[in-house]
Structure formats: structure tokens, C-alpha cells
């Protein structure tokens, strides 16, 4: 896994005043230029990856508006929470197996084990090799077959908390049982790390009291790192 693009206001598709970033926001900005060191031999790599990341930020901001409408909220309900969003662009590389390794592994070899993502949602581009599996509500692992020109959208833990489990975070895992390399590009998106949010009012009633206390995306990520069972 190579984390290339974390949120940095100087790359935001919405123009930011870099001299006036709020202190509570600046404390959580994680963009680091050293990730580009060693890539100068790859023509246009940084330019192209940042263009992809910027497109991901723009698309995700539109998607949170769609989520708001689906939750009986005004379209712009979340807009003030994604001005400096958690937004990590990642490259995953799964090396090819030899025929002997494929035969030996059978159904037991896992590239990335069963897990959920942490923030609001993930936009995933995967190549034609495939290997992503989604756990169905019935407990069956289903292949998420690659479809040209599409992205997979996985709900994350933070969105599940906000919606009081109305939207469930997507349990998934990855295999590469082939003799060719596999590449995927997940884009993890969440609210501004300084913003603490509770269960949405439209997801609570007498039969469904709030299950979760208010928390920020930063705290969700911190808790998950310190307690893998969370």
C-alpha cells in the first residue's frame, strides 16, 4: 500500500486562502510532500495522481449531498463539514502469483483480510483483474466484478454511526489468486477531522434511539488504530 495524497488545502479543487486556514483545521491537515520523492522517473505521475485525487474530492462532495437527500435532510446539510475533508488517495499493489502459488493457496490466500473502512465512504477504482469480495447480509462472500468506467462505493464506519446503522459499513476483503499483478486505487473520504458529529436527527425515533455518542472522524481513526476490535 502506498498512501500518496492526503488532504492538503493547496491542492483542493475549491480555492483556499492558505494564509487563513483555521487553527483547529490546520492541526489535522496531513498532506506531506515527501510521498512524491522517488517518483520523478515516472512521467506526469504526480500531476496525474493529484488530478485524480482532486476529482475524487469533487465527486465525494457531491455524493455527501446525495446522502443528505436520502436521509431527508437539506442537500447542503453536510457541506460545512467537508470544507477541509479527510481524503486519502491510496495505491494498492498485489503482486502476481506463480502457477504453483495459485495451486497451493487454494481458497485460503487473502491479500487484505476482512475489514470495514473508517470514514464516511470509500470510492474504489479496481483494474480488470478483480479480487474484491463483499460480505452479503446473509454472510456470503460475493465477488465485486470490475466494470469498466465505474467506481465501487463502500459505506464506512463513520457514516454507519451518523445514520444509527441505517447504512451499514461494507465488510470486504481482497484476494489475488491470479498470475498477473493487480492494482486498485481506493479514495477514503470523511468529514473535517475537527468536526464532532452525533447521530442524525432523521435517523432517531422512539423505536430507534441513538446508539452512538458524538465523535469526530479523527477520533474514529485514532480509536481504530489503538483497538483493532473496535
Q: Which domains does the chain have, with CATH numbers?
A: 2-226 (2.60.120.330)
Counting residues of the chain whose pLDDT is more than 70, the rounded percentage is: 93
Q: Report yes or no: 24 and 57 within 8 Å, Cβ to Cβ.
A: no
Whether 143 has a pLDDT exceeding 70, the answer reads yes
pLDDT level of residue 62 (50, 70, 90 thresholds)? very high
SS3 content of the chain, % helix, strand, coil (to 5): 30, 25, 45
Q: How far is Cα 177 from Cα 101, in angstroms, rounded to an integer?
A: 8
Q: Report yes or no: 118 and 220 within 8 Å, Cβ to Cβ.
A: yes
Least confident of 54-58, 59-63, 178-182: 178-182
Q: How far is Cα 88 from Cα 53, in angstroms, rounded to an integer?
A: 8
| Cβ atoms within 10 Å of 21's Cβ, excluding its own | 15
In terms of Cα–Cα distance, which of 99, 131, 117 is closest to 190? 117
Whether 223 has a pLDDT exceeding 50, the answer reads yes
Q: What pTM, to 2 d.p., does this model score?
A: 0.90
Q: Report yes or no: 169 and 220 within 8 Å, Cβ to Cβ.
A: no
- Mean pLDDT calculated for residue range 84-108: 81
pLDDT in tens, 154-166: 999 999 999 999 9
Separation in Å, CA 205 to CA 34, 166, 200, 201 = 48, 12, 11, 8
What is the residue-averaged pLDDT of the chain?
A: 90
Whether 229 has a pLDDT exceeding 60, the answer reads no
Amino acid at each position: 500500500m502506498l498512501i500518496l495524497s492526503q488532504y492538503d488545502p493547496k491542492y483542493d479543487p475549491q480555492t483556499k486562502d492558505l494564509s487563513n486556514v483555521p487553527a483547529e483545521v490546520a492541526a489535522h491537515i496531513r498532506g506531506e510532500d515527501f510521498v512524491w520523492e522517488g517518483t520523478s522517473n515516472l512521467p506526469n505521475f504526480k500531476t496525474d495522481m493529484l488530478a485524480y485525487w482532486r476529482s475524487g474530492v469533487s465527486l465525494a462532495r457531491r455524493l455527501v449531498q446525495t446522502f443528505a437527500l436520502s436521509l431527508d435532510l437539506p442537500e447542503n446539510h453536510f457541506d460545512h463539514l467537508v470544507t477541509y475533508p479527510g481524503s486519502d488517495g491510496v495505491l494498492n499493489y498485489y503482486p502476481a502469483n506463480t502457477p504453483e502459488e495459485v495451486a497451493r493457496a487454494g481458497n485460503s490466500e487473502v491479500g487484505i483480510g476482512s475489514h470495514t473502512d473508517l470514514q464516511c465512504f470509500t470510492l474504489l477504482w479496481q483494474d480488470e483483474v478483480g479480487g474484491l469480495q463483499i460480505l452479503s447480509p446473509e454472510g456470503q462472500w460475493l465477488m465485486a466484478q470490475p466494470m469498466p468506467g465505474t467506481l465501487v462505493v463502500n459505506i464506512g464506519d463513520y457514516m454507519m454511526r451518523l445514520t444509527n446503522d441505517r447504512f451499514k459499513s461494507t465488510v470486504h476483503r481482497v484476494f489475488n489468486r491470479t498470475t498477473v499483478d493487480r492494482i486498485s486505487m481506493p479514495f477514503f473520504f470523511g468529514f473535517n477531522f475537527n468536526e464532532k458529529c452525533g447521530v442524525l436527527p432523521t435517523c432517531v425515533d422512539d423505536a430507534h434511539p441513538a446508539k452512538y455518542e458524538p465523535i469526530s472522524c479523527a477520533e474514529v481513526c485514532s480509536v481504530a488504530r489503538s483497538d483493532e476490535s473496535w
